[in-house]
Amino acid sequence: MQAVQSLRCSCHEYRLLAMGQADFLTATMLKPWDHAAGQLVLAEAGGASALEDGTPYTPTRHEGRLIAASGPRMLEALQTLRPFGPAGAS
């Protein structure tokens, strides 16, 4: 991992994940129009995602921190972000 940046656009972030040009994304605003289609594309490309508590993403859940990664980087992303605390913590 070289840098952490947000494009502030889930569509483009999922595109980069699916193409293998990004390692992971994280989001706390879980609107289905931001994530449902991207989740499908990512899964078809071999990526993985889960909420911070380890449960799978569903379009009906609107709270928590979503972490999505291109393939086996999922566990590494979860472990990297866990020390920063739960979503919304300050």
List the chain domain ranges: 10-71
Write out pLDDT tens, residues 15-70.
Answer: 999 998 888 888 999 999 999 999 999 999 998 888 888 888 999 999 998 988 88
- pLDDT score, position 9: 85
Better-predicted residue by pLDDT, 66 or 77: 66
Q: Which two tokens mark 18?
A: 């699916």
- pLDDT score, position 90: 44
Annotated binding site: 34
Annotated binding site for Mg(2+): 34
Please say whether the dihedral angle defined by the alpha carbons of residues 16, 18, 19 and 25, taken in this order, is positive or negative: positive
pTM of the full predicted structure? Answer: 0.76
Right CATH for 10-71 from 3.40.50.720, 3.40.50.300, 3.30.930.10, 3.40.190.80:
3.40.190.80
